[in-house]
């Protein structure tokens, strides 16, 4: 079964850091670009970051550029996002999502992990 | 960034109705457009990609059309399981989503 499982969310103070993980199973992980997409409480979807299958290319939304770093370990079938200098507006459910082959639509999503930035 | 505008923001409909949701892009995205369905407490589910290609396992009552800047998602006969929020997403450049359309029971 194709599956993505996120972990690492929690409560963090403004200015703090957090690292999220997403463990994948059921597909040839290194062949696919992967993404982080977030959803603030009661709001819509916002793409955050993407990483190519090899890990050699990374992409970021302007809202997180310079603060978030995406990475992957293909030997562990896992992607990560290191989130630094967190702000209240980063509070959201963070979803890991797999790119559909040959497109940047997202065909597989994890259940999400909640990040709350508050003092 | 390319802005995606969905309309309506809320749609009230009954089981069996034909419903159409529109998504407009601030500039051409060719056919690089996807539609998702999201239910409360769940992640989004891919319905359609490349504007009109139905994802495997998605019922044929869902269809997508359009290219360039104007796109539509149509549900030919609304079923109880279809009451949800729908999002469009362009992937011609850095991905952006519409604000969503809530399909509610009339």
Please judge whether A106 and B46 are an interchain contact, meaning their C-beta atoms are less than 8 angstroms apart.
yes
* pLDDT given at position B45: 98
User: Is pLDDT of A102 > 90?
Assistant: no
Chain B residues within an 8 Å CB radius of A100: 46, 49, 55
Task: Convert the pLDDT of each residue in B61-105 to its tens digit.
Answer: 999 999 999 999 999 999 999 999 999 999 999 999 999 999 999
The distance of A85 to chain B (nearest Cα, Å) reads: 23
The sign of the dihedral angle between the CA atoms of A11, A15, A16, A21 is positive
- Banded model confidence at residue A3, pLDDT cuts 50, 70, 90: very high
User: Is pLDDT of A14 > 90?
Assistant: yes
* pLDDT given at position B93: 95
* pLDDT given at position B30: 97
* pLDDT given at position A101: 84
Task: Convert the pLDDT of each residue in A54-67 to its tens digit.
Answer: 999 999 999 999 99
Strand partners, A39: A45, A93
| Residue from B4, B43, B56 to probe the interface with A (highest A Cβ count within 10 Å) | B43
Query: How does DSSP classify residue A57?
Result: -
Instruction: Give me A20's structure tokens.
Output: 């999220």
Q: Which residue of B has its CA nearest to A4?
A: B43
> Rounded to an integer, what is the distance from CA A112 to the centroid of its chain?
9
* pLDDT given at position A103: 84
Please judge whether A45 and B89 are an interchain contact, meaning their C-beta atoms are less than 8 angstroms apart.
yes
The distance of A76 to chain B (nearest Cα, Å) reads: 23
Average pLDDT over residues B45-66: 98
Q: Which residue of A has its CA nearest to B58?
A: A107
* pLDDT given at position A96: 98
Please judge whether B50 and A103 are an interchain contact, meaning their C-beta atoms are less than 8 angstroms apart.
yes
């Amino acid at each position: 079964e194709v599956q993505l499982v996120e972990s690492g969310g929690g409560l963090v103070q403004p200015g703090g850091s957090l690292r999220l993980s997403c463990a994948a199973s059921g597909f040839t992980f290194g062949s696919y670009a992967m993404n982080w997409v977030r959803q603030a409480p009661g709001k819509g979807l916002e793409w955050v970051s993407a990483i190519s299958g090899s890990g050699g290319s990374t992409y970021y939304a302007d809202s997180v550029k310079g603060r978030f770093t995406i990475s992957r370990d293909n030997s562990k079938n896992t992607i990560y996002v290191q989130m630094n200098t967190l702000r209240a507006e980063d509070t959201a459910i963070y979803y890991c999502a797999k790119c559909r082959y040959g497109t940047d639509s997202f065909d597989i999503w994890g259940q999400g992990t909640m990040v709350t930035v508050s003092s | 960034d390319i802005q995606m505008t969905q309309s309506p923001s809320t749609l009230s409909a009954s089981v069996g109705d034909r419903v159409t949701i529109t998504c407009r892009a601030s500039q051409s995205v060719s056919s690089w457009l996807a539609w998702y369905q999201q239910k409360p407490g769940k992640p989004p589910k891919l319905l359609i990609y490349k504007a009109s290609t139905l994802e495997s396992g998605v019922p044929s009552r869902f269809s997508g059309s359009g290219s360039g800047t104007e796109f539509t998602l149509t549900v030919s006969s609304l079923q109880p399981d279809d009451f949800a929020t729908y999002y469009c997403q362009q992937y011609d450049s850095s991905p952006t989503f519409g604000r969503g359309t809530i399909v509610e029971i009339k």
